[in-house]
Structure formats: C-alpha cells, structure tokens
Amino acid sequence: MLFDPRSFVPSVDAGQSGWTPARQHPVARCRPAHDFLTLPAIPDATPGRALLTFGDEVEAEELVRAQFATGVLRARDVVNPTGAGDAFAQAMFAWLAARMPSCRRLNFSFSLLDIGAARDQLMQFGWDDQVDAPLYLAIDMPGDEAYFIGEARANALRSVHPHLLYTAMSLINVAGAKSLFLRTPEVLLDLFARWHWEYDSTLTNDDDAREFLKEQCGLDEDDIARYLPSAVRPELAPDEVLPSFCHAYPESRKLRAFGSRKLYELARSHQGWIKDLCVALAELNLAVKRQGDRSAVSGSQWAEPAYAAATIAYTQSDYVTQVLDDLYDGLNCNGDATMFQCFIPIADEPKAIRQQFKDLSGMLKIIAALDRVLTLISD
C-alpha cells in the first residue's frame, strides 16, 4: 500500500494502474497450506479450557487436609474438584445447605473467601485489618427489608403482660448479637442521635436537644419541635423496645425479660398469634441459652455492612423513613461499606474445627428461631 500511487478516491485515480511487487510468492502447488494467515490443525486431545490458579491456594492445602481429616465435612459431597479450595468449598456449602433455615424475614447467605479477598475487603471497610487465616467464611448481606411491629401488635402484647414486648425485643437483640446484624429500634435511635442529638441516644431533655438543634443544625422552631426527644422517642423507640441503658423514663426500670418457663406459661393461657409468639420466644431463649457464651461470629473480623439481615422498627413513621434514607444516601456518597457482615476465620486444628462447626450449627438454630419470632411480631 505504501508504494501504490492510487488514492482512495476513484475519480482522482483516472484509471491509473496499480502497483505490483516484483517478487511474487511461489504458488503453493501441492504442498500443505499451513502458512502465514492460516491456522494449523489442532489435535482433538488438546484441552479447550484452562483454569488459572495462584500460589495463595498452596497456603490452604494444609488447612483443607486438616478439615477433612477431622471428619466433620464429608468427602462424598465433593465432585471433580479443581483444587483444594474447591474441594473444601463443595463440602463446606453442602454442610451449610443441610442446616440452612428457610427464612421469611432474615436475608443472608455465605461466601468462602481466601486471604487475599478478605484482606482487600477489610483494609477498605473493616474494623481490624489483621488478616492471617488462609480461608474465611463471610456472611453476605445482599439487602434488607424493613418490618414493623405496629401499635396494634404492641398494644396486644402490653395487654397480655406489661413486660412481654420488652422481653421480645431483649431476646431479639441478644440473638442478633450471636448471629446476624439487625437494625432494631436501638440502632435506628442511635443513627438518629448521631445527626440530631450530638451522638447521645440516651438524651431525654428537650431543652438540651433544642439548644443543639438551634445552634449546630440551624433549624427553625417548627423543625426543632419535630426533632425533640419527647416527639421522636415514642414513635421511633419507646423504652419497651430498647435495652435498659437507653431507657428515658424512671418507670421503665421495672421492665424485666421473662425466661422460657414464664413464656410457656403465657402461651398456655392464650390463643392465636400471641400463643405462637410466646412459644417462639421461649424456643429462641432456649437456643440462645444452649449457645452459652460462645458464638460463631465472636472471633470474626467485622466489616461495615451496608445492609442488615432485616430492619425491625417499632412502627411505620416518617422518622424511620428519614433515618434509613439518610443512612443509604450517606453510604451511596461515601462508599464506606461492604456487602459482608463479617469474616469468620476457618479453623485449622482438630479441636477448634469441631468447636467451630458446633458454633455454626448453634448459630443457624438461633437464626431459625429468630426468624420465626420476627415473622410473628412484625408486618
């Protein structure tokens, strides 16, 4: 093309002859046409797919051997593994699938991450970046829905016993601390206090709040009245749905959480959803008690999850909508959150392995009982 005098415009060429190179390539005649711009024949035995692996997997081989040698995971759950990590993942998720509860309120799943992926998440969004385990079991939080107790249910529980609503929320908070992150009225009140009460979720004095809202937030009198504790707390988080340290009024000191025996007693004397809820609360209390001081998530690396397994609010109000809108708007602007709740380091010693699977089994039982309670107590 560099030696051809013709242009790309036929009218300009005026019939000029093209340039022909002096050296012509010999005719192929009968020789094979495996030459420039042709592809050679590929034997049928040549693999058509390849798997790219990295050296990080070598670090997990000893851990995987220890896991299978302990006997909790079953080798028969593994089919054509591509490596040690894949074999462990197949067996691990088969074990989890056999114990995963079917949830109507809680939304979560599990992922298996190597040290590189876990470190990348925790360095950006975590609370502790000391990552040294070869493999991590991560709790996924793909998105959360908001559910509401509502005044009708709350009043029905109060009519059964003044302490029943407090008992229910106390058990929900304890169960969530041992399993899945929930946005409860306590969490919603804390978020509201960050933006409007100078981070003090225990604030009860309207005069103190009024001063801060006027001087720091620049609100007018109408807006200030809307954000005072006396207006917010009854709708967003009355004392009955909060832990004792958040209570605003002295009379709330009388509130006590029932044990399973009292809950079964209340169940025997009532019918319908009240009976079902009391039984579900008793079963949740037993599941938490069986776990004792242990928790599958207690030794994990915590992240900053964008979502929760569920949001359980006291009642449907503008305060709840505002808190969640402000939260997600901030996360969308800053990007300082992940899709994971936490990262559980996979144990590599026989005793620790057996204990970890026992803790995971107990956590899944708590989740099943917790989901039943949330389903009965909320819309």
pLDDT of residue 307: 94
**Would the CA dihedral through 290, 161, 374, 235 be positive or negative?**
negative
d(CA 343, CA 111): 9
pLDDT of residue 56: 47
pLDDT of residue 277: 98
Tokens of 194: 């960050």
d(CA 329, CA 259): 40
CA quadruple 23, 29, 32, 38: dihedral, nearest 10: 50
d(CA 160, CA 240): 14
Residues of the chain with pLDDT under 50: 52, 54-56
Residue pointed to by tokens 């509502």:
150
**Residues contacting residue 329 through CB under 8 Å, at least 6 positions apart:** none
pLDDT of residue 10: 61
> Tens of pLDDT along 74-114?
999 999 998 898 999 999 999 999 999 999 999 999 999 99
Strand arrangement, sheet containing 310-313: 146-148, 310-313, 182-183
Measured over all CA atoms, what is the biggest interatomic distance in the chain, rounded to whole angstroms? 107
d(CA 282, CA 10): 91
**Residues contacting residue 284 through CB under 8 Å, at least 6 positions apart:** 171, 175, 366, 369, 370, 372, 373
Q: What is the 8-class DSSP label of residue 161?
A: -
Residue pointed to by tokens 């809950």:
263
φ, ψ of residue 182 in degrees (nearest 5): -120, 150
pLDDT of residue 120: 85
Measured distance between the N- and C-terminal CA atoms of the chain, rounded to whole angstroms: 75
Number of H helices, E strands in the chain: 14, 7
Q: Which of 203, 202, 205, 209 is nearest to 224 (CA)?
A: 209
> Tens of pLDDT along 256-289?
999 999 999 999 999 999 999 999 999 999 999 9
Q: What distances in angstroms separate CA 279 from CA 152, 216, 285, one per listed residue?
A: 20, 48, 10
Q: Is 38 exposed, middle or buried (0-12, 13-18, 19+ CB in 10 A)?
A: exposed
